[in-house]
Structure 1
Amino acid sequence: MYDRYDGLIFDMDGTILDTEPTHRKAWHQVLTKYGMRFDEQAMVALNGSPTWRIAQTVIELNNATLDPHQLAAEKTAAVRAMLLDDVRPLPLIEVVKTWYGRRPMAVGTGSESALADALLSQLGIRHYFDAVVAADHVTHHKPAPDTFLRCAELMGVAPEKCVVFEDADFGLQAARLAGMDAVDVRLL
């Protein structure tokens, strides 16, 4: 089915790894400490964004005066403590295994690189990917195309010969802007 592509790019959270419940739990834990709340639907709309951008939105919605980068760091620490025990691969990992060694593959994620590498390594799947491009590797995040364009560059594949697997609207938009085909995994 993906024979016509020279490179496959996968989002991480919610696409190949079941991290979403843990991310929500970590946000709840950190925000409760500050007496702040978040709307789950608003969070889902921000999927694919870097953590500091989500923190900035939460701070604005709560009329708080916290530093978004500090709040993001606290949330990332909470996630890291939980994720390594709670996260499992999603069924799409079978596509990764099927195409391993047949096409170059990359992960393009809105998570920070330390967290992405820790998760992929802990689950024993890091070796499947030729590259991992995380939020701290690009200046312009999803929905900008930079993450996926960098993946294509690191794989040595022209953007128009790549397909992106995504579960978030921002990521699907980023893939289109990069000139890549996209598979909305929520529809699989």
Structure 2
Amino acid sequence: MYAQYDGLIFDMDGTILDTEPTHRKAWRTVLARYDMQLDEQAIIALNGAPTWQIAQAIINWNNGSLSPHVLADEKTALVKTMLLDSVTPLPLIDVVKAWYGKKPMAVGTGSESRVAGLLLNHLGLSQYFDAVVTADDVEHHKPAPDTFLRCAELMGVAAHKCVVFEDADFGIEAAQRAGMAVVDVRTL
């Protein structure tokens, strides 16, 4: 089905790994410390954004005055302790395994490198990917195309010959802006 593409790029959270429930739980725990609330529906629109940008939006929704970087660091520290015990691969990992060694593959995620590396290594999935591009590796995050363009560059594949697997509107927009084909995994 994906034979016409020269490179495959996968978002991580919610696409190949079932991390979303743990991320939401970590946010709720950290926000409770500050008497702030998580708007579950509004946060979905920010899937794919770096943690500090999500933190800034939450602070704005709650009329808070915290530093988004401090709040993001607290959430990241907590989620790291929670993820190793709770995260499992999603069914799309079968596509990764099926194409392993046949096409270059990359992960393009809005997660920080410390979280992405920890999860991919813990689950034994790092070996499948030629590149992992995280929020730490680009200046402009999804919906900007930079994450996916960097993946293509590291794989040595022209952008228009890549397909991106995504579960978030920001990521889908980023793939389209990069001139790549995109599969919305929410419809699979």
The equivalent residue for 1:167 is 167
Q: Aligned partners of 1:178 and 1:117: how far apart in 2?
A: 24
Structure 2 counterpart SS, 1:163: strand
Map 1:173-188; keep pairs closer than 5 Å: 173-188=173-188
The equivalent residue for 1:11 is 11
Number of matched pairs: 188
For residue 45 of structure 1, what is the amino acid of its counterpart? A
For residue 109 of structure 2, what is the amino acid of its counterpart? T
Q: Aligned partners of 1:25 and 1:99: how far apart in 2?
A: 33
RMSD: 0.3
Q: Aligned partners of 1:86 and 1:124: how far apart in 2?
A: 15
Map 1:16-31; keep pairs closer than 5 Å: 16-31=16-31
The equivalent residue for 2:48 is 48
Residue 126 of structure 2 is aligned to residue 120 of structure 1: no
The equivalent residue for 2:83 is 83
Structure 1 counterpart SS, 2:149: helix
Aligned-pair distance for 1:55?
0.1
Q: TM-score, normalising length from structure 1?
A: 1.00
Q: TM-score, normalising length from structure 2?
A: 1.00
- 1:67-101 alpha-carbon deviations (Å, 9 max, x no partner): 00010000001110000110000000000000000
Runs of 4+ more than 2 Å apart:
none
Residue 111 of structure 2 is aligned to residue 111 of structure 1: yes
- Please list every run of 5 or more consecutive structure 2 residues that lacks an aligned counterpart in the other structure: none
Aligned-pair distance for 1:38?
1.5
Structure 1 counterpart SS, 2:164: strand
Q: Aligned partners of 1:83 and 1:105: how far apart in 2?
A: 23
Q: Aligned partners of 1:138 and 1:90: how far apart in 2?
A: 26
The equivalent residue for 1:39 is 39
Structure 1 counterpart SS, 2:9: strand
Map 1:62-101; keep pairs closer than 5 Å: 62-101=62-101
